[in-house]
Amino acid sequence: MILICSIDALDVTLSSMTNPHAWLLSDLSQQKQNGITVFSTFACGGGSTMGYKLAGCSVIGANDIDPVMAHHYRLNHHPKYYYLCPVKELLSQQLPDEMYNLDILDGSPPCSSFSMSGNREKDWGKLKHFREGQSNQVLDDLFFDYLSLAEKLSPKICIAENVRGMISGNAKGYTRLIFKRFKEIGYRVQLFLVNAADCGVPQARERVFFVALRDDIVKPKLKLAPKHPWVSCEEATLDLQILTPTEIVETKFVCKTDLNWWAKTRQGEKYDDAVVRSELKGRLFSHKKLHSKRPSNTLTVRHCNFTHWIVPRKLTFREWVRLGSFPDDYKVDNPKIGKYIIGMSVPPRMMEQVAKAVISQWL
């Protein structure tokens, strides 16, 4: 059974008409097309895809290893081509001619082994298993699988997104290897640190973007420094604060941690801040109480750790959609998987700004 934010289609449409930060999947058909073609690897639920479409591009297909992600991508985007397999398998497949004439090869190789909040170096080189239906993978190899696909397809431009941890500590050595590989396959690459909040997303999410231009194309260096006014949690979700009966059940507190610490935590703080004030020692670092007048903290797959700024409750799926800059009518099997998808995704409005910069300066 497919749910659309637990409300009917009329409510979704009215909501999108009353809030300037809301939009619909159907809006994509109104975008002026620029003829630029994109193929998206590690596509998840299509956050990047929607960003390219908002910028006027045609996303001809996508790839992911997770059948749940594949289901939701197809449900919302109806791609011409879709490959449910590891990127490495595309290297030995006969692919359509369109794939060898791409303007942009997009990719977001899984990056948790480089995240500042993970095990980092302890996980490098290890096989890891993620979600049902996926094979074990060495995450730090996947970026090079993406680059091997770029070598095979030879698109004009490669755009790859990853976590900020890629440019911190020992991971800098890994990033240097990526630069070296780009050069070997015939691309000039630049690296940018971008905050989603600067792209009009009501979420402070810092990500690095590798943007590479094929050597035979002569263009000046890319300038990428979006400066959109920041959008607060309150602005983005103001029209969503009257909850449906389903949402009341969805957002109720489910653990003693929230009951103990939400009221003692100030807006914009982690529960840890309140714990330190009370117990003089830190814990509960990942639990966050959002601030009404600021963008959200970086949304993660641990959606239960995020709480409302005024009311002692979790966030609704509709709020999660807005904070991720996803369309109001994005279809999911249930709110839990929907929040997971958004926590894993590149925010569409973020990718839109990156794509527009690349298009205007290089294409």
Residue 15 pLDDT:
57
Same domain? For 314 and 205 the reply is no
Q: Which of 175, 156, 159 is nearest to 167 (CA)?
A: 175
- The answer as to whether 325 is a domain residue is yes
Question: What are phi and psi for residue 77, nearest 5 degrees?
Answer: -120, -15
**Same structural domain for residues 285 and 184?**
no
d(CA 58, CA 36): 6
User: Do 155 and 101 lie in a common domain?
Assistant: yes
For residue range 138-167, what is the model confidence (pLDDT) as tens digits? 556 899 999 999 999 999 999 999 999 888
Q: Are residues 289 and 335 in the same domain?
A: yes
Q: Which residue has the tokens 């749910």?
A: 3
Which pLDDT belongs to residue 120? 41
* Residue 210, pLDDT score: 98
Number of domains within the chain: 2
158 with 26, same domain: the answer is: yes
Residue 16 in any domain: the answer is: no
Range of the domain at 141: 22-229+348-362
Task: Find all residues with CB under 8 Å of 282, minimum gap 6, and list them.
Answer: 272, 275, 276
Q: How many CB atoms lie within 10 A of CB 332?
A: 25
Residues 272 and 199 in one domain: no
pLDDT of res. 189: 98
Q: What positions carry a catalytic annotation?
A: 111
Q: Same domain for 184 and 197?
A: yes
Q: How far apart are CA 359 and CA 171, in angstroms?
A: 30
Residue 172, pLDDT score = 87
Percent of the chain with pLDDT over 70: 87
Q: Are residue 185 and residue 254 in the same domain, yes or no?
A: no
Q: Which residues contact 216 (CB under 8 A, 6 or more apart)?
A: 186
Residue 142 lies in a domain: yes
Tens digit of each residue's pLDDT (9 = 90 or more) over 274-312: 999 998 888 899 999 999 999 999 999 999 999 999 999
- Give the mean pLDDT per block of 10 residues along the chain (363 residues): 45 68 95 97 97 98 97 98 97 97 95 51 49 53 94 98 89 91 98 98 97 98 98 98 94 85 96 92 91 97 95 96 98 97 97 98 97
Long-range contacts of 250-253 (CB under 8 A, 24+ apart): 250/6, 250/314, 250/316, 250/317, 250/335, 251/308, 251/313, 251/314, 251/315, 251/316, 252/313, 252/314, 253/312, 253/313, 253/314
**Do residue 215 and residue 250 come from a single domain?**
no
Please report the pLDDT score of residue 3 as a whole number. 46
pLDDT at 12: 59
- Tell me whether residue 106 is in a domain: yes
* One domain, residues 224 and 237: no
